[in-house]
Amino acid sequence: MNRHFIESQLGFITTLIFLERKRRYFSNVKTIRPPDHLRGHVDRIKRDGFVVIPDFVSKQTAARMLACVPDESSFEESVEGDRALFYLNAHTLSGFSEFFNSQLLGDIAKAYIGNDVISLRRSIEWRRTKGQVIACDRMYHMDTWKHRLKAFLYLHDVGMDEAPMIYLKGSHEGAWRLPMEARIDARYKTNDRGYAASPDLAFIGCYWPYEVNEFKTLYGLQDVICTGPAGTLIIFDSRGLHRATELKCPYRKLLINYWIKKGNHT
């Protein structure tokens, strides 16, 4: 029997099995009704995959937080190959409580993911490697097929030179995603810290540029470059396609919080 025929049949069966897993997952999602003052934010994430809040904290507060970033010796390098530095468990530092303990962010996460939402990772990210870097985050990718909401708080102005993220608006949903979602479900594995279990596995979920261009043409998806002044908050559904850009200035520092549905670390 033709090998390609067998592989196609196995791929079809794998996708059918995944569809049942996906159906069960979403049947167990119980979200709360967002407070009236947050409904616009939640609706924009549902529609576009992200929302930008340009004045989540004042520039003065952002500057104070920036001054509270610990010395480089307190950071560790990312295990995913992007050469960024991370300070893990940053919520234990008092200078950042306004972000990590935000009731607004917690309510948005509950309204989008459900009452059983938990924070997976709370950290400071410090990018300092200029130019091209070979890493999964430089390619358009989806993190997962399950709920994962991320928030970035800019501690200083982030323009085109400060490695802004690019988000493909509207790419968090659509039947075209199914083959990659099934692949992630079947092959992606994490270690006990929630990162890819090996460097190669980090690239599962990535698309080639020509594929992304096809999606843009076929489905009317648009790039959004997430620049903003100090104090800007970006909240996005990381099921949607996104990628990092080159750093052209000395550094970029921001705060990060991830939320997931309890028990769904992969």
The per-residue pLDDT for range 71-105, each reduced to its tens digit, is 999 999 987 778 899 999 999 999 999 999 999 99
Question: Cβ of 139: how many Cβ atoms within 10 Å?
Answer: 17
In this structure, is the dihedral angle defined by the CA atoms of residues 102, 107, 112 and 115, taken in order, positive or negative? Answer: positive
**Cα separation, 141 vs 215, whole angstroms:** 13
Q: Write out the CATH class of domain 3-261.
A: mainly beta
CB of 246 closer than 8 Å to CB of 61: no
pLDDT, position 30: 81
Q: Is the pLDDT of residue 4 over 50?
A: no
pLDDT, position 8: 53
Q: Is the pLDDT of residue 7 over 60?
A: no
pLDDT, position 185: 92
**pLDDT tens column, 8-53:** 545 667 788 899 999 998 888 888 788 889 999 999 999 999 999 9
Mean of the pLDDT values across residues 64-70?
97
CB of 211 closer than 8 Å to CB of 43: no
Own/partner long-range contacts of 15-23 (Cβ < 8 Å, ≥24 apart)? 15/178, 15/179, 15/182, 18/178, 18/181, 18/182, 18/185, 18/186, 19/178, 19/182, 21/185, 22/145, 22/181, 22/185
Confidence of residue 5 (pLDDT cuts 50, 70, 90): very low
Q: What is the CA radius of gyration of the chain?
A: 19
- 195 φ/ψ angles, rounded to the nearest 5 degrees: -95, 165
Mean of the pLDDT values across residues 46-63?
97
**How high is the mean pLDDT of the chain?**
90
**Cα separation, 179 vs 188, whole angstroms:** 14
Domain limits of the chain? 3-261
pLDDT, position 119: 92
Alpha helices in the chain (DSSP H): 3-27, 39-48, 59-67, 97-100, 103-112, 178-187, 209-219
And the tokens for 140? Answer: 């358009």
**pLDDT tens column, 116-174:** 899 989 999 999 998 888 888 899 999 999 999 999 999 999 999 999 999 999 999 99
- 93 φ/ψ angles, rounded to the nearest 5 degrees: -90, 125
